[in-house]
């Protein structure tokens, strides 16, 4: 009996079993012997092997059968251990802010606003119009639809001071969300083994994007008015970094808005060091008490790569964002976007354009100010009453989040788990630090949950915290 004939008959029987009806009889040993040109001993051996694995049932005197109800055996993926090798650069567990959570839990962890704060009617109309347009069957240009690019550039141009050259539609690249744009920018400026500077704490997605492209993020401390300029200059000089990723407006998670003076100093620093400022203007539409112009409006020499997204202000279902970049970097970024995503669906771009060019869009955005302010203040009050151990370092002038500091003895992981057991989902601040966290923080979103739940939610987190302290 040769090894290969045994394997051959077993493979043939497995193929047969895979499509056979449950409970059906296999061909007899004689039929198998004749059909496959192997000895009866080989056939018997193959059948016994299949029987041991529970894939066939032998009934002496009747024959061999496919089991009536096939036992569900867990699939064996162990071969992938060798194929995958060492674990990748990204954490295997999903980041806290992306968790969907149960319908009953209060989602204070989310990064996106609640449906009640979205221009839902406008968006539905925009999608219907997009569905009726030729965008449904056409391939969009890889840099984006001309009219949408013109809208993005006009938005920045409107805040460009006299005497500076405003960006044009040619400087715009539409991307499927700004998360992909971060990877594109990091790869294009630094690439694997490269270094970029960043504020600390900073957006967890930027930390992941850098890890994915093999870029080391070197943190620069920030205070309530923006980055520490001495530290920024030193970090540029010491690392040779060619870029600084930052959020000058309502930073996620701290809520910090750079002062006008600090913005000018950062621009000076990037110019002196021949570097880029990668400005993530994610909260452009979420001003509460201020209306700052982006740093990019102050730059017409290609030092600022500007990111603006519509996914939070129009809808998380509309993954449309833009990079605005001037000079040769723009072509490098476009080549990367083409390699990653080719282009953004014209249907989504058309719908986005329909929304943001309606007069009702402006009304919606200006109405958001009051609604965000109410929510922010309610959550501040709720935290003061229910979680007095927490301190709020910055009352944000815009954005969606409160950044709370808890006493250093807090066990954050436990607090997150215990709060969730009490029906409140919160995100531990550790995910926002590119290096070691400098304290125990929580980020609470005031735009995602029903404000009526804020007080109870804060009380539940407070009770979980107090319980943990009693158990110490």
Return the sign of the alpha-carbon dihedral for residues 402, 408, 409, 413: positive
Question: Closer to ligand PLP at the Cβ: 247 or 350?
Answer: 247
Helix-helix angle 260-272:229-239, to 10 degrees? 20
Q: What is the rounded distance in angstroms from the CA atom of residue 318 to the CA atom of residue 108?
A: 22
98-137 footprint of ligand PLP as x/- string (CB under 6 A)? -------------x--------------------------
Using alpha carbons, select from 369, 339, 447, 439 the residue that is nearest to residue 401. 447
Position with the least CB separation from ligand PLP: 177
Taking the least distance from each CB to ligand PLP, the nearer of 42 and 179 is 179
Q: How far is the CB of 280 from ligand PLP (least distance, A)?
A: 5
Stretch that binds ligand PLP, among 69-77, 173-181, 210-218, 234-242 (CB under 6 A): 173-181
Q: What number of residues does the chain have?
A: 472
Cα separations (Å) of 404 from 254, 265, 397, 442? Answer: 9, 28, 15, 5
Q: Which of residues 216-235 bind ligand PLP (CB under 6 A)?
A: none
Rounded to 5 degrees, φ, ψ at 176 are -80, 70
Taking phi first (over 0 means left), then psi (-120 to 50 degrees means alpha), and beta for anything else, what does residue 465 get?
alpha
Which residues are within 8 A (CB) of 241 and not within 5 positions of it... i.e. 6 or more apart? 190, 194, 195, 196, 197, 218, 235, 273, 275
In the complex, least distance from residue 386 CB atom to ligand PLP, rounded to whole angstroms? 25
Contact pick of 148, 321, 334, 352 for ligand PLP (by CB under 6 A): 321
Q: Does 252 bind ligand PLP (CB under 6 A)?
A: yes
Q: How far is the CB of 207 from ligand PLP (least distance, A)?
A: 11
> Which of residues 282, 361, 403, 433 is near ligand PLP by CB under 6 A?
282
Choose which of 203, 236, 361, 454 interacts with ligand PLP (CB under 6 A).
203
Find out whether 232 and 267 touch, Cβ atoms under 8 Å. no
Contact between 280 and ligand PLP per CB under 6 A: yes
Closest CA to 296 of 149, 175, 161, 147: 161
DSSP string, 51-97: HHTTS-EEETTTEEE--SS---PPP--THHHHHH-S--SS-SSPPGG
Q: Which is nearer to ligand PLP, 148 or 321 (CB)?
A: 321
Which residues, in sequence order, are CB contacts of 386 under 8 Å at separation 6+? 455, 456, 457, 458, 459, 460, 461, 462
| Choices 57-65, 66-74, 174-182, 191-199 (CB under 6 A): range interacting with ligand PLP | 174-182
Residue among 6, 42, 179, 410 that touches ligand PLP (CB under 6 A): 179
Cβ atoms 220, 232 nearer than 8 A: yes
Which segment (172-180, 256-264, 265-273, 389-397) binds ligand PLP by CB under 6 A? 172-180
Give yes or no for residue 286 binding ligand PLP (CB under 6 A). Answer: no
> How would you classify the pairing of strands 172-175 and 195-200?
unpaired
- 178 is an interface residue for ligand PLP by CB under 6 A: yes
Judged by CB under 6 A, the chain residues 293 through 312 that form the site for ligand PLP are 309, 311
Residue 269: its H or E element: helix 260-272
3-11, 176-184, 445-453, 456-464 -> range binding ligand PLP (CB under 6 A): 176-184
Number of residues that bind ligand PLP (CB under 6 A): 13
Which tokens sit at 174?
């539409």
Distance of closest approach, residue 470 Cβ to ligand PLP, in angstroms:
35
Can you give the binding site for ligand PLP, defined by CB under 6 A?
A: 111, 177-179, 203, 205, 247, 252, 280, 282, 309, 311, 321
């Amino acid at each position: 009996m040769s090894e290969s004939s045994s394997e051959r008959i077993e493979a043939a029987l497995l193929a047969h079993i895979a499509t056979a009806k449950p409970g059906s009889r296999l061909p007899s040993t004689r039929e198998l012997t004749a059909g496959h040109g192997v000895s009866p001993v080989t056939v018997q051996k193959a059948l016994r092997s299949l029987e041991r694995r529970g894939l066939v049932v032998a009934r002496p005197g009747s024959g061999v059968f496919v089991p009536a109800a096939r036992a569900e055996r867990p699939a064996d993926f162990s071969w992938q251990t060798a194929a995958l090798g060492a674990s990748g650069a990204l954490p295997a567990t999903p980041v806290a802010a992306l968790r969907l959570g149960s319908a009953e839990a209060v989602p204070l962890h989310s990064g996106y606003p609640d449906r009640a704060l979205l221009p839902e009617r406008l968006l539905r109309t925009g999608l219907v119009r997009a569905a009726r347009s030729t965008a449904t069957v056409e391939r969009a240009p890889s840099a984006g639809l001309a009219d949408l690019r013109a809208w993005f550039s006009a938005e920045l141009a409107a805040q460009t001071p006299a005497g500076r050259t405003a960006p044009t539609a040619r400087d715009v690249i539409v991307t499927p969300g700004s998360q992909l744009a971060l990877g594109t920018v990091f790869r294009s400026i630094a690439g694997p083994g490269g270094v970029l500077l960043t504020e600390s704490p900073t957006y967890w997605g930027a930390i992941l994007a850098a890890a994915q492209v093999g870029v080391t993020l070197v943190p620069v401390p920030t205070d309530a008015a923006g980055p520490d300029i001495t530290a920024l200059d030193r970090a540029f000089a010491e690392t040779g970094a060619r870029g600084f990723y930052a959020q000058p407006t309502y930073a996620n998670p701290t809520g910090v808005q750079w002062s006008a003076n600090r913005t000018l100093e950062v621009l000076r620093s990037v110019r002196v060091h021949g570097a880029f400022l990668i400005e993530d203007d994610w909260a452009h539409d979420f001003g509460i008490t201020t209306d700052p112009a982006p740093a990019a409006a102050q730059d017409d020499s290609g030092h600022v790569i500007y990111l603006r997204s519509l996914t939070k202000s129009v809808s998380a279902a509309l993954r449309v964002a833009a990079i605005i970049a001037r000079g040769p970097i723009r072509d490098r970024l476009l080549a990367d976007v083409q390699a990653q995503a080719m282009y953004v669906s014209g249907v989504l771009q058309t719908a986005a354009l329909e929304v943001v060019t309606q007069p009702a869009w402006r009304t919606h955005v200006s109405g958001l100010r009051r609604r965000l302010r109410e929510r922010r203040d309610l959550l501040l009050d709720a935290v003061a009453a229910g979680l007095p151990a927490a301190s709020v370092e910055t009352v944000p002038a815009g954005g969606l989040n409160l950044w709370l500091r808890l006493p250093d003895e807090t066990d954050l992981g436990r607090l997150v788990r215990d709060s969730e057991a009490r029906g409140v989902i919160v995100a531990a601040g550790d995910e926002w630090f590119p290096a070691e966290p400098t304290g125990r923080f929580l980020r609470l979103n005031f735009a995602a949950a029903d404000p009526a739940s804020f007080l109870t939610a804060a009380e539940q987190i407070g009770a979980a915290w107090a319980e943990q302290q009693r158990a110490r």
